[in-house]
Chains A and B, each alone.
Chain A
């Protein structure tokens, strides 16, 4: 029943996000097609064009899901505390962490659903394009200079993970901020933290070029400066994913610590 409450709060945002997904899919189909399309050919984009499409579609998802995760982070216990219904909610016989992790879990599942759906759409589109081109690489995509075919499923899976970790991080920061501020206005603090991190990264990069803060978007593939070197998965990709997942989970855990110690 509690999940129903979260759904009741967030359903408009979720429906809007699904509309965004549909719009995004349409944009991918119409706009990104043109980016990858070889004007001299009637058969659709070539291998390099498809790689470009995938790259653009990945980065186009970032602002969409950043915004969605930011909005979704405003629902749940923090909002209840701000609206004055916190004492009502937290006198229902459940532990505080129970409310918090149900909020976070359900919100994250909604994000994951949207992310998977959008990437399935993109994957399906690329799959059709590969098929239209005779599928010369057996379901793989050439990421660079015909040297290193990578399975489409692998690319799409990693894209999903990258966006999930990114959106989960934004969602977690925003959710934590609403708990810390005890108000849905915490979304502004969340946005401030994220912007602050980006500005800090830019300043550090400017004054100390040798130091680089981790990018909010993980790089799954690495390329070498030598153009014919094959594209490969980034070094220690598993470790990197695990660290980013841990950082993502750090914020709901911090929110739990704050909530457990708060006077309501």
Chain B
């Protein structure tokens, strides 16, 4: 069994305000991330991704449940986690510091800091390092945040929506750095996003979260290989079963989404007198829409 770098068990986070009802941001989350994987953590805005990441960083305390990062507890053993993990969460730094000053400020905290790597990424990503942080464009702020996280030579990189609001060129630059430079060394990336296409491009594991609950966690290859849509025409066909993720029926046409065993399931429907209209593979966007219960013909990127 692979070593887990992140593991949460029944992780719950409620937010309470004076005179307000508690809001459940994370609701019994069980997440497992293997060493060396690129884990795409996807969900709609407000699904609980950022809160989960903040709990992993020790910024927020869980209401209940537990989390382990690199085998350590984020509340009690934060130092061990922060020394070995690069967190890019808000991408807002001291606005009055230049890129060079931020590099100088940062390197004192990390024993494994690589000045050579910082310089290389600054050149490769074309970051104007002598400009104050507040004067940088959104893309350059993100690139600088990533540079600082990478130069600390972490074992684990945790990125909260790193590509949000970036133009396609910068987006491509960042994803290349992450996959070709960082992950190729066998290090682990946890990347939250609501851009399913980019997750599909870089991730090998995916976790889908909605309303604080993890609806799916699987290897992307397994999802591609096993998730199928089966449409069948018949009467009184089954609506429950271990592989049935969702089912809808309209005028005798049953539309199933199955997590596995599509061929066998289709055969059993035929045995019950149904006519199989089609069995089609599904991409991540279609699975996401099915799981979060918002299936429409609007593209996921727009929904998100």
Tell me whether A and B are bound partners.
Answer: yes
Listed in ascending order, the chain A residues whose CB lies under 8 Å from chain B are: 1-2, 4-5, 8-9, 80, 83-95, 263-264
Measured between alpha carbons, how far is A95 from B81 in the docked complex, in Å? 12
CB of A264 within 8 A of CB of B60, answer yes
Is residue B264 within 8 Å, beta carbon to beta carbon, of the partner chain?
Answer: no
Within 8 A of A (CB), among B92-112: 92-97, 101, 104-110
Interface residues of chain B, those whose CB is within 8 Å of chain A, are 15, 54, 57-61, 78-79, 82-83, 87, 89-97, 101, 104-110, 145
B97: which A residues are within 8 A, CB to CB?
5, 8
Query: In the complex the two chains form, what is the Cα distance from A145 to B267 in whole Å?
Result: 113
With the chains together, A8 CA to B97 CA distance in Å?
8
| Distance, CA A80 to CA B59, complexed state (A) | 14
CB pair A85 B92 closer than 8 Å: yes
Shortest B144–chain A CB gap in Å is: 11
Kindly provide the distance from the CB of B263 to the nearest chain A CB, expressed in whole angstroms: 48
Contact assessment for B82 and A2 in the assembled complex, using a CB-CB cutoff below 8 Å: no
| In the complex, the 4 A-B pairs of residues with the closest C-beta atoms, listed nearest first | A1-B108, A93-B82, A84-B92, A264-B59
Contact A83 B95 (CB under 8 A): yes
Contact partner, B109, options A9, A84, A85, A93, Cβ 8 Å: A93
Let me know if A84 and B59 touch, CB within 8 A: no
B108 to chain A, nearest CB (A): 3
Q: Within the complex, which residue of A4, A84, A93, A263 is in contact with B110, where a contact is CB–CB below 8 Å? A: A93
- Is A85 in contact with B90, judged by CB distance below 8 angstroms? yes
A80 to B96, CA, bound (A): 11
Report the minimal beta-carbon distance from A82 to chain B, rounded to whole angstroms: 11
Q: Find chain A residues with CB under 8 A from B96 CB.
A: 8-9
Give the residues in chain A near B90, CB-CB below 8 Å: 84-88
Chain B residues closer than 8 Å to A88, beta-carbon distance: 89-93, 145
Residue contact A263 to B61, C-beta cutoff 8 Å: yes
The closest CB in chain A to the CB of B102 belongs to A88
Shortest C-beta distance, A255 to chain B (Å), equals 17
Contact B79 A91 (CB under 8 A): no
Within 8 Å CB of B89, what residues of A? 87-88, 91
| B105 A1 Cβ-Cβ under 8 A | yes
Would you mind naming 21 contact pairs between A and B with Cβ atoms under 8 Å apart?
Answer: A1-B105, A2-B105, A5-B94, A9-B94, A9-B96, A80-B94, A85-B93, A85-B94, A85-B95, A87-B57, A88-B91, A91-B59, A91-B87, A91-B89, A92-B106, A93-B78, A95-B78, A263-B54, A264-B54, A264-B59, A264-B60
Tell whether, in the assembled complex, residue B79 and residue A93 are in contact, meaning their CB atoms are under 8 Å apart. yes
Chain A contacts of B95 at CB under 8 A? Answer: 83, 85
The minimal Cβ–Cβ distance linking A227 to chain B, given in whole angstroms, is 57
A94 to B109, CA, bound (A): 8
Contact yes or no, A91 B94, CB < 8 A: no
Contacting residues, chain B, for A94 (C-beta < 8 A): 79, 109
CB distance from A11 to the nearest CB of B (A): 10
Query: Which B residues touch A92, using CB under 8 A?
Result: 82, 106, 109
A47 to B133 alpha-carbon distance, docked (Å): 58
| Contact partners of A80 in chain B: CB under 8 A | 94
Chain B's nearest CB lies how many Å from the CB of A102? 12
**Residue numbers in A under 8 Å from B15 (CB-CB):** 263
Residues of chain B with a CB closer than 8 A to A91's CB: 57-59, 82, 87, 89
Residues in B neighbouring A264, C-beta threshold 8 A:
54, 59-60
CB pair B92–A263 under 8 Å, yes or no, is: no
Further pairs besides A1-B107, A83-B95, A87-B57: 11, Cβ < 8 Å: A5-B94, A5-B105, A83-B94, A84-B92, A85-B93, A87-B92, A89-B94, A90-B59, A91-B58, A92-B106, A264-B54
Contacts of A2 in B (CB 8 A): 105, 108
Closest to A83 in B: B95
Q: How far is the CB of B216 from chain A (nearest CB, A)?
A: 27
Which of B59, B87, B94 is within 8 Å of A263, CB to CB?
A: B59
Q: Which residue of B lies closest to A98 (CB)?
A: B79
A93–B113 Cα distance when bound, in Å, is 13
B50: nearest chain-A partner, CB-CB? A87
Return chain B residues, CB-CB under 8 Å to A87: 54, 57, 59, 87, 89-90, 92
Closest to A260 in B: B61
- Would you call A83 and B108 a contact (CB within 8 A)? no
